[in-house]
Structure 1
Amino acid sequence: MKKILITGANSYIGTSFEKYMAQWPEKYQVDTVDMIDGTWREKDFSGYDTVFHVAGIAHSDTGHVSEERKEFYYKINRDLTFETAKKAKADGVKQFIFMSSAIVYGDSAPIGKSKVITKATMPSPANFYGDSKLQAENAILPLQGEGFNVVVLRPPMIYGKGCKGNYTVLSKFATKLPIFPYVKNERSMLYVENLCEFVRLMVENEEHGVFCPQNGEYTNTAELVKMIAEVHKKKVLAVKGFAWALKILSKVTGLVDKAFGSMSYDMRISEYKENYRVCGLMESIERVER
């Protein structure tokens, strides 16, 4: 039996993973430890095969944040990650899996531009959130070796039932709007159960390295809204001609490029020796919306 410790209680990814792994009670034992106070430092990590570190702060508005708040991002996303990884290695844990993000490659391309991340693309964070994640990666990757495997995951936008963020906003639009602006864009996404299966395979195969999992299909924002609406037996008309207005709006808020900009992984860097995509795009939307 593989024993896995999730460091970070009540996180969306952590709770989703724990629920997903309950399918195999005879193969995996999954425990969780809260990282909010310092009591986790007293916990003995020995006996666990893997520490899955999901504790961290996600960004909201990175344009209006105090220096104190920025430092807090580094304290949690970088320093806490490094401290946890060092403890895991010192306690004899065999593997440390860190939830990084595609944000280490910077922001989405603006409307009308493309951005495809390939094997040759170097990380280039656009803000302190992405930099805090990249600095965490750079701190823990040298710990690899001596029976200690380090896995860094750089997923694109994660979505699933009960998730927060851009997907939830688009879902609301899909159920309330009869029309939606069509902009030619391409985005990588990752359904949470596909992520969970990928993490399971990382544990099972005792992997190490940097990985960029994604769904097997790219998405277009307007087409995604139409698919969500379809699940709810509604029809949304994707209308062209709004790109100019959205470009102007993007000067005011970064949310526009997050929704309508392009950012995708070359599919080749997301392939793995075993299939981790437990369901396709349409099926995943059905699971989320029903």
Structure 2
Amino acid sequence: MKRILITGANSYIGTSFEKWMQQFGDNYQIDTMDMHGDQWKEKDFSQYDSVFHVAGIAHADVSKVSEETKQLYYKVNCDLAVETAEKYKNDLNGKNGQFIFMSSIIIYGEETNINKKRVITSETLPNPSNFYGDSKWKAEQKLTPLKSETFKIVFIRPPMIYGEGSKGNYQLLVKIANWTPVFPNIKNERSMLNIYRLCDFIKLRVDFSDSGVFLPQDPVFQRTSFMVKEIAASKGKKVYLFSGLNLIIYLLGYFPGRIGRLINKAFGSLIIEQGVD
């Protein structure tokens, strides 16, 4: 039996993983721990084969936040992750263990452009464009020295995660699908990851006692317009896709300021090269 501790109660990914693993019965013991306060420091982590660290502040609107909020991102997304890994390693006292850290594709920066496809490859270096991405990248940098033959560390850098109950940018697409009867048919490509495929991916990392950097994604790239149409259809609505204004939308991508940013964020192409681990 594999024993897994999820550090970060009530998170979307952690809760989804816990529920998904129930299908495997007694082959896995899944425990969850709330990381608020200091009570977690009193628990003995040595009984677990893997610690799946999902505690963190999720990606939100980072354009207008206070310096205090920025520091909170670093405290939670970086410092707490390192503290947790250090405690786990100390509790193991030389025994084998695996620490799985939920990082993000955002560590490569979130720039997209409707007029130029962006491809992340195995040669692409992290280059965060905001403090959210930087907090995740700094956590990876500080966790890496803890790795050893007996203490495996897994970094998961997923693209946008979608599925039942998902949050973040996916919910913006849901709102659009609920609101509009028409949507531009721009031929962009986005790497995305279904929550259940992520759960299966995490399970395999545990089963194989893996270590390293992983960029899981769906086998097929998504088009923003198709996703909006499919989301609407799942709710019994119809969204009609049109290409009549595509040239204008492509031109708006060159505009400076908020309009250009919104166009490029919605319709830019950002993919992970297939086969990159």
Fold agreement, TM-score > 0.5: yes
Q: Aligned letter for 1:214?
A: Q
Distance 2:62 2:130 in 1: 7
Unpaired segments ≥5 residues, structure 2: none
1:178 corresponds to which residue? 181
Unpaired segments ≥5 residues, structure 1: 271-290
How much does 1:268 deviate?
1.4
Query: Runs (4+) of structure 1 moved beyond 4 Å?
Result: 253-256
2:264 corresponds to which residue? 257
Q: Aligned letter for 1:44?
A: D
Is the aligned partner of 1:136 residue 2:132?
A: no
How much does 1:232 deviate?
3.5
1:267 corresponds to which residue? 274
Distance 1:261 1:200 in 2: 32
Distance 1:11 1:250 in 2: 36
Deviations 1:146-199 (A, max 9, x none): 411000000000111111122222123224422102223110000000000000
Contact 1:70/1:128, CA 8 A, preserved across alignment: yes
Q: Aligned letter for 1:252?
A: R
1:247 corresponds to which residue? 253
Distance 1:88 1:53 in 2: 11
Aligned-residue sequence identity (percent) comes to 53
Contact 2:103/2:136, CA 8 A, preserved across alignment: yes
Please list, as runs of the form range in 1=range in 2, the aligned pairs for 1:112-191 lying within 5 A after superposition: 112-191=115-194
How much does 1:269 deviate?
0.5
Closer, same or farther: CA 250–98 of 1 in aligned 2, 3 Å: farther
Contact 2:249/2:263, CA 8 A, preserved across alignment: no
Q: Aligned letter for 2:175?
A: K
Aligned length in residues: 270
TM-score, with structure 2 as normaliser: 0.92
Deviations 1:253-280 (A, max 9, x none): 655433222211001105xxxxxxxxxx
Is the aligned partner of 1:58 residue 2:38?
A: no
What RMSD in Å do the two structures reach over aligned CA positions?
Answer: 1.7
SS in 2 for 1:68: helix
Closer, same or farther: CA 22–191 of 1 in aligned 2, 3 Å: same
Distance 1:162 1:238 in 2: 25
2:105 corresponds to which residue? 102
